[in-house]
Structure 1
Amino acid sequence: MTVLVTGATGFVGGRLVPALVDHGLEVRALTRDASGYDPPDGVRAVEGDLLDPDSLDGVFDGVETAYYLVHSMGSGPEFAERDRRAAANFVAAAESAGVERIVYLGGLGETGAELSEHLQSRREVESVLASGTPRLTTLRAAIVVGAGSVSFRMIRQLAGRLPIMITPKWVRTPCQPIAISDVIAYLVGVLDAPETAGETYEIGGPDVLTYQAMMEAVASQLGRDPIIVPVPVLSPSLSAYWVELVTDVDGSVARPLIRGVENPVVVTDDRIRSIVDVDLTPFDDAVATALSEADGSEDSDGGD
């Protein structure tokens, strides 16, 4: 089987590509600049820009399954419109080339009018990808824990830099984080489960925690014991400025992420557990691995 991975240089894609190779698949990695990408052995790099449909000519030829792992959240306030266009160009090119299946990693959260712009955009992309003839498999995840995750970096830096935190009330919002290794296992595993084509699944780790509990757990592994005091007066906008001040997460990324943390992100449908067997990683173990991989340096952008 030949598979195409978009976002191959990002946080998730960079780990998925070698996992697919190890799974015995022929892998094609889509990048805007192939000269700047050093693919793993056996991986073919192809150039293309999802915002330029002409650049996608021939990219999908011979591909059976295509992974969609890109988003434009760090590119400014118009990220939703860019994501919509990129997804439309992607699905049109995949459909034209006869791609049978698309696999998309989306965002976990209850559907409804209260979704943040970030999660609304993820759902819109999901809808666009489902509009073509390739059958779409969607995996919805909350915070992905790993070195390189922007969301995890934000939590890590807050936990590691402040001895006392006067925090917004969203620190009490429940979340079900998942280790990056488990996300990769699910992304690869659905290929061996044909019944997952055309379906949407929620994926999460074994622990449901508040953001406060996550920060306390991360702080503990960093050898710190911060005092966290939630208050009701910090709005999402003020919270975003607070995160920008304390962390090095870019404001164009921090703002939509913060506006999303007021939404509970907990798995309510765990059907995937009976289809793809993954030995889920406890949050503390996932944090330990992420901190070890970061090795004291700041994580790179490329995922959430």
Structure 2
Amino acid sequence: MTVLVAGATGFVGRHLVPELVAEGNAVTALVREPSSYDPPMGVSVVKGDLNDRDSLDGIFEGIDAAYYLVHSMGEDGDFMQRDRGAARNFVDAARGTGVSRVVYLSGLGGERTTLSDHLTSRREVEHILANGDYDITVLRAAIVIGEDSVSFRIVRQLAERLPLMITPQWVRTECQPIAIDDVVAYLLGVLDTPETAGETFEIGGPDVLTYGEMVLMTGEILDRKATMVPVPVLTPKLSAYWVDLVTDVPKDVAHPLILGLKTRTVVEDDRIRSLIPVELTPVEKAVRQAVA
């Protein structure tokens, strides 16, 4: 199968592309600056910017399926507007081509809750991509644990740098983190499982814990024991500025992520487990692999 990966240079894309090649797929990476990307052996590179519709002409020629692993946090301007524009351009460029399948990695979070801008944008992109002339599969994940994960970088740096934390209430919010290797396994699996076409699935690791428990666990693994004192006056918005002082994650990325931590991100629909058997990585093992 010939597969296009939009977002090949990102955290998930860098892990997915080599595995697609190992599975025998012909892979094309869509990147804005080919000169700054060192692709794995056997990967073709095509230049294109999802926010520039004209640059996408012809990128889907000969493509059977595509992965959409793109978000606009950390870039100039309104990231929600850029996300919408990029998704619309992708759909328009794919229209009338031979692309039969698109896989999108979205964010986990209940439909009935008040979602942050970050999670709202992920939902909007889902709906836009669903308007294409192909079957779409959506995978919704919470925090992905891996060495290069921005979300996990925040967790790690909090654990490393603060022996005593006056923390916001979101440290008590439950989440279901998933190891990057397991995310890749699901991304690969849905492409080979016809029953997943046109469906939305929730994916998560085997453990449910609070964000606070995950920070404390990471600290113990790093031999940095910490104490947390949650206080109600430290709102998610205020805590975003607090994170600025403690971590080196750019605020244009950190703030949307932090504002989403008030939302419980736990798998409520595990149908995918019966379709794609993945031996899920326990969160402690995933953290140890990420910090090794």
Query: Where does residue 148 of structure 1 map in the other structure?
Result: 148
Name 1:224's counterpart in structure 2.
224
Shift of 1:57: 1.1
* 1:78 equivalent in structure 2: 78
For residue 274 of structure 2, what is the aligned residue in structure 1?
274
Any stretches of 5+ residues in structure 2 without a counterpart?
none
Q: Report if the CA contact (8 A) 2:135-2:197 is conserved.
A: yes
The question of whether the paired residues in 2 share the 8 Å contact of 1:77 and 1:252 is answered with: no
Give the aligned residue type for 1:192: D
Specify the alignment match of 2:174 in structure 1: 174
* Structure 1 residue 227, shift from structure 2 partner: 0.6
Aligned-pair distance for 1:113? 5.6
What is the alpha-carbon root mean square deviation over aligned residues? 0.9
Residue identity opposite 1:269 in structure 2: D
Deviation, 1:95, is 1.9
Distance 1:277 1:265 in 2: 22
Report the Cα offset of residue 197 of structure 1: 0.6
Equivalence for 1:121: 121
| Contact 2:161 2:246 (8 Å CA) reproduced | yes
Q: Which residue number in structure 2 is paired with residue 192 of structure 1?
A: 192
- The match for 2:7 is 7
How far off its partner does 1:77 sit? 5.4
Consecutive unaligned residues of structure 1, counting only runs of 5 or more, are 293-304
SS in 2 for 1:139: strand
Report the TM-score, using the length of structure 2 for normalisation: 0.98
Paired residue total:
292
- Aligned-partner SS, 1:24: coil
Query: Is this contact kept in 1: 2:113–2:263, CA < 8 A?
Result: no
Tell me which residue corresponds to 2:183: 183
CA–CA distance in structure 1, aligned partners of residues 60 and 38 of structure 2: 20
The separation in 2 between residues aligned to 1:171 and 1:38, in whole angstroms, is: 38
What is residue 139 of structure 1 aligned with on the other side?
Answer: 139
Between the aligned partners of 1:247 and 1:113, the Cα distance in structure 2 is 28
Shift of the alpha carbon at 1:73? 1.1
Q: Distance in 2 between matches of 1:215 and 1:143?
A: 13
- Structure 1 residue ranges (4+ consecutive) displaced by more than 3 angstroms after TM superposition: none
SS in structure 1 at match of 2:74: helix
- Alignment-derived partner of residue 96 in structure 2: 96
Q: What is the aligned partner in structure 2 of residue 240 from structure 1?
A: 240
**1:96, CA displacement in angstroms?**
2.8
Tell me how far apart the structure 1 counterparts of residues 24 and 139 of structure 2 sit (CA, whole Å). 22
Between the two proteins, what is the percent identity of the paired residues?
A: 63
| 1:29–1:46 Cα contact (<8 Å) kept | yes
> Structure 1 length normalisation: TM-score?
0.95
